[in-house]
Amino acid sequence: MVEKNKDSEKHSSDISEEKLNALFELTKSINLNASIDDLLSIYRSILEGTLSIGRLMLLSYDSYWRCILSYGIPTDSMEFAIERAKGYSHLKEITQVDKNSWPEGYDLDIVVPVNHKDDALAYVFIGDLREGLTGAGSAIKHLPYIQTLTNILVVAIENKKLAKEHIHQSMLKHELDLAKEIQSILVPSVLPHTDELDVAAYYLPYHEISGDYYDFIPLNETEFAFCIADVSGKGVAAALLMSNFQASLHAQIEQTSSLTELVTRLNKNVMDTARGESFITFFIAKFNRLTQTLHYVNAGHYPPILFMDNTVNMLKSGGPALGMLPEIPFLKEGIIAVNPPAAFLAYTDGITELENEDQEEYSIDKLRDLFISLTNSGLTSKQINDKISSTLTAYKGRKKYLDDVTLLCIRILKRSQLPLFHQG
């Protein structure tokens, strides 16, 4: 009897030493930044090899409960077992489980919760506490150790997730900064403001990155072009697509005087780049300061407003948005004789589709009427944009903007006085 007790004490001492060594191995591996799979492998070897735990299911919460380690139990009914395990998610203490409620072959005896403050991080379900020299009763005495060990493991895994998420967020921030930098060089930094020509733009992104684009491009001493565009989608992909589009526009506009040919080439470029996953609504116009003639093409964009001689022209002539069809079947170029003073307003759908608290859209009609009123008041292009912006803010009330807001206002004040206008 004495020999048996000595053997028992010796075995217990050996187990205690193995437990300490195992704990050291796990913490050392954590400090060495071992992978989650390696940590789980060490954890399993401790429970199965050192503590003789024959069956185990370790559940961890990551947006939903999932099993990150199991052995000694069937895998074909795991989903059912996880659903069954959720019934124990309120537990704060080590508890016996009802064996009869589990799928066949599970035979789990004990659930060991791992909590952080009031939140459950993980649950360990164990069974088959194998008889050894010390018996199953002694194995149950290891449960506080199992709880501590699991806590160390789960916290290490959570820290790895947080580190990975931090890296992911850092990459997103880098992409965001890159997209913002790309976007900052897309639009002109200086717009003309002379006694002949007054140009101003207003831009309010819904997110930090916008899918809107506007431009003003002096072509030669007598001509300039201007445009506005809106790419479907948001984020880095949209910014990169628009960057490619802007580069293509600037290159192509130097190679052809025909807006119809230009838009046809740009459509091919968008098709090749976006591969049907995005499209761009686009309006471009070219104004000749000598002939006072405006040529334009509207590719699926909301029609800009031209107001002169107390008459409103909605500039609709053109075709479908770019990138929707491999070839544009019908493309019509609009031509208008401009009689200064004249005012032009291009905008994106973030304005006309803005809703108030009664879910009523601001609409093109409201924008047109406001633009006419502001133009007749003799405001500058910047003042017109600012007044439209403040009107939109008042209109939406407590509702949020749901899209980017972009305005491009151009006032042609009088006939050209060549040479080339200066920017100031």
CA-CA distance, 230 to 211, in Å (whole number)?
Answer: 6
Element (H, E) at 172: helix 143-184
User: What is the pLDDT at residue 215?
Assistant: 94
- 109 is written with which tokens? 């005896």
| 97 within 8 A of 81, measured Cβ to Cβ | no
- The pairing of strands 318-319 and 293-299 is parallel
CB 381 within 8 A of CB 200: yes
- Is 45 within 8 Å of 26 (Cβ atoms)? no
Q: How far is CA 219 from CA 285, 306, 339, in A?
A: 12, 21, 21
pLDDT digits (tens, 9 = 90+) for 200-229: 999 887 665 667 889 999 999 899 999 999
pLDDT in tens, 160-196: 877 777 777 777 667 666 666 666 666 787 899 999 9
pTM comes to 0.62
Report the share of the chain in percent with pLDDT over 70: 87
How far from the centroid of its chain's Cα atoms is residue 72's Cα?
A: 42
Q: Residue 130: pLDDT band by 50, 70, 90 thresholds?
A: low
Q: Which domains are delineated in the chain? A: 2-165 (3.30.450.40), 185-412 (3.60.40.10)
Query: Mean pLDDT throughout 314-333?
Result: 92
What does residue 233 show for φ and ψ, rounded to 5 degrees?
95, 170
Average pLDDT, the chain: 84
Q: Which of 43-57, 68-82, 216-230, 347-361 has the lowest mean pLDDT?
A: 68-82
What's the pLDDT band for 131 if we cut at 50, 70, 90? low
pLDDT of residue 394: 94
pLDDT reported for residue 135: 42
Residues 7-31 pLDDT 10s: 444 455 666 778 888 778 888 888 8
- The whole-number average pLDDT for the span 339-344 is 96
Backbone angles phi, psi at 201, to 5 degrees: -130, 150
Residue 97 has pLDDT above 70, yes or no: yes
